[in-house]
Amino acid sequence: MVSQPAAWNPELYQSSHSFVWQYGRDLLALLDAQPGERILDVGCGTGQLTAEIARSGAEVMGIDTSSAMVAAARQNSPQLRFEVADVTALAFESEFDAVVSNAALHWVCDQQAAIACIARALKPRGRFVFEMGGHGNLHNLLDAIYRALRQIGAVNPEHLLPWSFPTVGEYASLIEANGLEVNFAVLFDRPTPLEGGERGLRSWLKMFGGFAMNAIAQGQSDEFLRLTQQFAAPALFHDGVWTIDYRRLRMVAVKL
């Protein structure tokens, strides 16, 4: 099962959050897709990275749990295959030379099921290349969100978090328990400037902060957004730009 906002907004995603796939391009060098390979892109979003992989000559398929995002991906790249699918319920068996995933796996509630399905989908010696939120991701921003939620009456807002941000050791152990060997792993800070100037954080919260926005009473959203910006500004807002405190976990593993 994948946790996600009530409805993804592909237009907002493409117009104001292009950093998601632009930073994800770094994965493509690690993936090193070859002509004729079959590659599965898990959490393809609106398909920009899927299309870049296809330009290598590989046969690539993109999947996402959001029908709206898949529809946008099909519109962007009608020559490619995109399907609505849940990574925890894939039925593929030794079909792909590589599985790649950018900024998606931290949305998955059942990590064990996801990794088991990915491992099963890979051919022997197939590659699993991914990046996701890692331990400590969004520390300052989440602190501001929790403070804002508490101030407007939410109880235990930390329990609302929909994401998994594992350590290297935690995720390597999970991957290796499913028959893959980790041969590259790094956890790193990646401060990320948001588009939109002073309204950048508000846009980010509307795109990705559904877990918080959905927890407050109708009519409180403006106050929540105002308070979150107030509490986050000392650490994250400088010279008219919001810079989010991302930490990313990037790994490469090979099926034994």
Residue 23, domain CATH: 3.40.50.150
Look at residue 7 and tell me whether its pLDDT is greater than 70. no
Quick one: pLDDT band at residue 238, thresholds 50, 70, 90?
very high
18-33 core/surface letters (b: 16 or more CB in 10 A; e: else): ebbbebbeebbeebeb
Within-domain flag for 212: no
Look at residue 2 and tell me whether its pLDDT is greater than 80. no
Quick one: pLDDT band at residue 10, thresholds 50, 70, 90?
low
Dist CA 23 CA 1 (whole Å): 26
Number of domains in the chain: 1
State which residues form the domain around 132: 10-138+162-195+245-255
Within-domain flag for 81: yes
What interhelical angle do 139-151 and 221-236 show, nearest 10?
A: 140
What is the average pLDDT score of the chain? 93
Interacting residues of 49 by C-beta distance below 8 A, sequence separation 6+: 21, 24, 25, 27, 28, 41, 100, 102
The token pair that represents 183 in the structure block: 């041969």
Look at residue 4 and tell me whether its pLDDT is greater than 60. no
pLDDT for residue 180: 98
Under a CB-based contact definition with an 8 Å cutoff, are residues 190 and 23 in contact? yes
Q: What are phi and psi of 242, to 5 degrees?
A: -85, 130
CA 169 vs CA 176, 182, 191: distances in Å:
10, 11, 23
pTM: 0.92
pLDDT for residue 6: 46
pLDDT tens-digit map of 206-218? 889 999 999 999 8
